[in-house]
Structure 1
Amino acid sequence: MESTRNTQEARPDVLTVEEWAAKMRISRSAAYDAVKNGDVAVIRIGRLIRIPNREVA
């Protein structure tokens, strides 16, 4: 079970826009443009924007 917990810690379920941009190797503004244009699925909670980790190619 230890290895399962380590895997989950290394790969969170959701990412911030900045974290997603870094993983996709794009600029922060390009990431927010993708969110605005609907190019990436997001979860909105109030003003918070989170991107499911499955969106990382």
Structure 2
Amino acid sequence: MTTTDHTDERPRLMLTIQEAADQLAISRTLCYQLIKAGSLGTVRIGRLNRVPADELEDFVARLRRGEPAFGA
């Protein structure tokens, strides 16, 4: 009998701050600044701070509409 590797290929729903920064092609420091300014939302899971993957899409969509990254 042959076994196959059923690696889960689904995209991650939550990202670390570093992973979010990597996805946006920005520094981790800038990512923290966006979070502090309220421009990029996060959720707390216990002591962990995570960025929902759909938050990145929303952030980029706002930028594409011409909204400033750090608010007005």
Q: Determine which structure has more spread, i.e. the larger CA radius of gyration.
A: 2
| Superposition misfits of 4+ residues, deviation over 6 angstroms | none
Aligned length: 51
Structure 1 unaligned spans of 5+: none
Higher relative contact order (CA 8 A, sep 6+): 1
RMSD: 1.6
CA contact under 8 A between 2:40 and 2:56: conserved in structure 1?
A: no
The TM-score normalised by the length of structure 2 is 0.61
The TM-score normalised by the length of structure 1 is 0.75
The structure whose residues are more often helix, as a share, is 1
Structure 2 unaligned spans of 5+: 1-5, 58-72
Structure 2: distance between partners of 1:16 and 1:36: 15
- Counterpart of 1:53 in structure 2 is 53
Percent identity of the aligned residues? Answer: 35
